[in-house]
Amino acid sequence: MAGPVHITPERVAEEALRVQRKLAAAAATLREVGDFDYGATEKQEVWRDGKVVLYRYVGDKPPTARVPLLIVYALVNRPYMVDLQHDRSIVKGLLARGEDVYILDWGYPDRSDRFLILEDYIERFLGGAVDHLRRDAGLDSINLLGICQGGTFALSYAALHPERVRNLVTMVTPVDFHTEGNMLAHWTRDLDVDLFVDTLGNVPADMMNACYLTLKPWRLLVQKYVGVVDILDDAAALEDFLRMEKWIFDSPDQAGEAFRQYVKQFYQGNGFVNGGIVIGEREVHLGMVDMPVLNIFAEQDHLVPPDASRAMRGLVGTQDYSELSFRGGHIGIYVSGRAQTQVPAAIHDWLAERA
């Protein structure tokens, strides 16, 4: 007789045999997978400042868009998430639609970068890349696509230099850091960030990763690894899984002073909403963001809840503000099958209407 969860000796034996077969296949599957790379699209270095590199993606055909589109990713992970593999690449989708796509790679900070501040990242590195593209294209302004923390940098830059940004697209970008559902923001609000940075210097990547994983411990530390058993006899699926794992744990350390400023001004001070974000000697006011804005957020995002992004509507100064709500999570917005068709098309069509 089956119990309340319908477990019988026969079903237990059947499941044990299935797992045994999957495990037996694992060695052969791993040999078939071998080593693998990431990044689906050729790219060329076009500008550099120290460890920070600006790349131009090379598509199968020349771009038709006249205005460059610069992708600004977060500091905490590597930017190749937007071009992870051939069938999971937001970049490929944009190139196929004629966009001229560039990306800023922040590199891997080391001890020599301990005293980099937000002004370095936003004015020197991001601003330097924007100025290079403006000069190269012979334009006064370019298009920006800011993702997650990179979206907060892009918003800050657009507020400080609205004349240099023609159109602004943000993806899973936090604006209100004090919304109820933002667990990461709740944790960070009480952090003694001065003691933290004074003790550690640069913030270790492993510590940051541990923090993110414990936001959803069952899903990210147990469930997904148990689920790997189901794909141990599928080389393609296992390769996809390992590539994603490589990205998750390929995280740079964080420059200590920039981390200190970011936590204080964004997470603890909620500076976009309350004021108080100072870059160099200038305060950031989102009311100065007067160019067209497309704000894309994910409905099941556990890192940047939708309400944290929706707050942008009431703060930016533009009259041309649009929102796109994506059904998925913080990572799915780049790599899910739905994202490959919906997100590049939405960005391209929105830009084309304002060309």
The answer to whether residue 211 is catalytic is no
Give which of 338, 315, 91, 185 is closest to 324, Cα–Cα. Answer: 338
- Structure-token pair, residue 345: 């098309």
What local confidence, expressed as pLDDT, does residue 1 receive? 46
Cβ neighbours of residue 152 closer than 8 Å, sequence gap 6 or more: 146, 173, 174, 175, 266, 272
CA distances (Å), origin 139, targets 125, 135, 142: 19, 7, 7
pLDDT tens by residue, the chain, 355 residues: 455 667 787 787 777 777 777 677 677 777 777 666 677 899 999 999 999 999 999 999 999 999 999 999 999 999 989 998 888 899 999 999 999 999 999 999 999 999 999 999 999 999 999 999 999 999 999 999 999 999 999 999 999 999 999 999 999 999 999 998 888 888 888 899 999 999 999 999 888 888 877 877 777 777 877 888 788 888 888 878 888 888 888 899 999 999 999 999 999 999 999 999 999 999 999 999 999 999 999 999 888 999 999 999 999 999 999 999 998 888 888 888 888 989 999 999 999 999 8
- Which uninterrupted H or E stretch holds 247? helix 235-249
CA distances (Å), origin 267, targets 63, 100, 202, 263: 38, 33, 18, 5
DSSP 8-state code for residue 232: T
Spatial distance between the Cα atoms of 324 and 145, rounded to a whole number of angstroms? 14
CA distances (Å), origin 307, targets 143, 211, 300, 303: 25, 22, 11, 11
What local confidence, expressed as pLDDT, does residue 39 receive? 75
Among the options 148, 203, 296, 347, which is catalytic? 148
What local confidence, expressed as pLDDT, does residue 3 receive? 53
| Superfamily classification of domain 43-182+278-353 | Alpha/Beta hydrolase fold, catalytic domain (3.40.50.1820)
**How many CB atoms lie under 10 A from the CB of residue 281?**
6
DSSP 8-state code for residue 36: -
Beta strands in 20-148 (DSSP E): 43-49, 52-57, 69-72, 83-85, 88-89, 101-105, 142-147
Q: What angle do CA 318, 277, 190 make, to 5 degrees?
A: 125
Place of tokens 């530390």: 221
- Evaluate the CA torsion angle 121, 163, 79, 194 in order and state its sign: positive
Residues 262/263/267/269 CA torsion (nearest 10 deg) = -90
- Which uninterrupted H or E stretch holds 128? helix 127-137
Pairing of strands 165-171, 293-298: parallel
Spatial distance between the Cα atoms of 139 and 323, rounded to a whole number of angstroms? 27
CA distances (Å), origin 35, targets 30, 31, 78, 240, 242: 9, 9, 19, 12, 10
Pairing of strands 101-105, 69-72: parallel
Place of tokens 């891997």: 108
